[in-house]
Amino acid sequence: MHTIISVKDKQFKPFISEASILKAVQNVANKINAEMSAKNPVFLVVLNGSFMFASDLLKNIAFPCQISFIKVASYHGTSSSGAVTELIGLTEDLTNKNIVIIEDIVDTGVTLEKLYNVLMKKNVAEIKVATALLKPKSYNKKYPIDFVGIEIENEFVIGYGLDYDGYGRNLKELYIIV
Ligand code: 5GP
């Protein structure tokens, strides 16, 4: 049965079920467990959208790890130096650390690129990326996306942490616009 839901001024229909999402997340966890367990990584959860993915994923990580929650903020300084990117919430020293960025969705990769640029300046050892969703036809940056839950077309989705104008993050399935 297809239940149409209204979120603000738009209608959305079910896209990917909770069971499919959780299966994909378990696969991501299995890969991270296999590849990263000896690396003592720091997981950087990029808020807000990735809170639900991070919760499901990290429950299935089977080795001791550090977890930190950050926000990416961009602002224009007073000079002509262009946009400045800042990480809000990062308190750990990341020097020589193996980082796993946890993203909700990678679309064009602009956000990821900003994150990369800031983290590279902190002398980290390596950066890996885990994302619940990837839009491969939209992504045009050079950074490898190491752990991908589900690849989707260039459609606007909500649910599982992702919002439309602040709403829809709590939905446990993914929805797309009707
Ligand atoms: P990017 O910088 O990779 O183009 O986009 C990343 C950000 O755009 C995501 O973290 C998310 O906030 C937003 N975004 C991209 N695609 C979608 C989508 O389909 N649905 C929602 N709700 N947000 C999206």
- How is 32-54 classified by DSSP, letter by letter? HHHHHTTS--EEEEETTTTHHHH
Question: Which pLDDT score, from 0 to 100, does residue 42 have?
Answer: 97
Q: What angle do CA 117, 122, 123 make, to 5 degrees?
A: 105
Please state which of the four CATH numbers 3.40.50.10330, 3.40.50.2020, 3.90.1150.10, 3.30.70.260 is assigned to the domain occupying 18-72+85-153: 3.40.50.2020
Q: Is the pLDDT of residue 79 over 70?
A: no
User: What is the band of 80 on the pLDDT scale with cuts at 50, 70, 90?
Assistant: low
Rounded to an integer, the average pLDDT of 78-107 is 87
Q: Is the pLDDT of residue 10 over 80?
A: yes
Candidate of 162, 164, 173 to mutate for ligand 1, largest count of ligand atoms within 8 Å of Cβ: 162
Active-site residue, from 9, 93, 104, 107:
107
pLDDT per residue as tens digits for the range 35-50? 999 999 999 999 999 9
User: What is the band of 73 on the pLDDT scale with cuts at 50, 70, 90?
Assistant: confident
User: What is the band of 106 on the pLDDT scale with cuts at 50, 70, 90?
Assistant: very high
Rounded to an integer, the average pLDDT of 151-170 is 97
Q: Is the pLDDT of residue 98 over 70?
A: yes
Distance 64 CA to ligand 1 centre (A): 30
Q: Which of 118, 66, 117, 121 is nearest to 88 (CA)?
A: 118
Query: Looking at 40-44, 47-51, 85-89, 143-147, which range is the least confident one?
Result: 85-89
Average pLDDT for the chain: 94
Q: Is the pLDDT of residue 1 over 90?
A: no
Question: Which pLDDT score, from 0 to 100, does residue 85 have?
Answer: 84
56 lines ligand 1 (CB under 6 A): no
Name the residue at shortest CA distance from atom 16 of ligand 1: 107
The distance in angstroms from the start CA to the end CA of the chain is: 15
- Nearest atom of ligand 1 to the alpha carbon of 46: 10
174 lines ligand 1 (CB under 6 A): no
Domain boundaries defined on the chain: 18-72+85-153
Residue 39 neighbours by CB distance under 10 Å: 17
Q: Which of 2, 41, 13, 32 is nearest to 149 (CA)?
A: 32
Question: Which pLDDT score, from 0 to 100, does residue 44 have?
Answer: 98
7 lines ligand 1 (CB under 6 A): no
Instruction: Please state, for a pLDDT cut of 70, what percent of the chain lies above it.
Output: 96
Catalytic residue check, 107: yes
49 lines ligand 1 (CB under 6 A): yes
Rounded to two decimals, what is the model's pTM?
0.95
Distance 136 CA to ligand 1 centre (A): 13
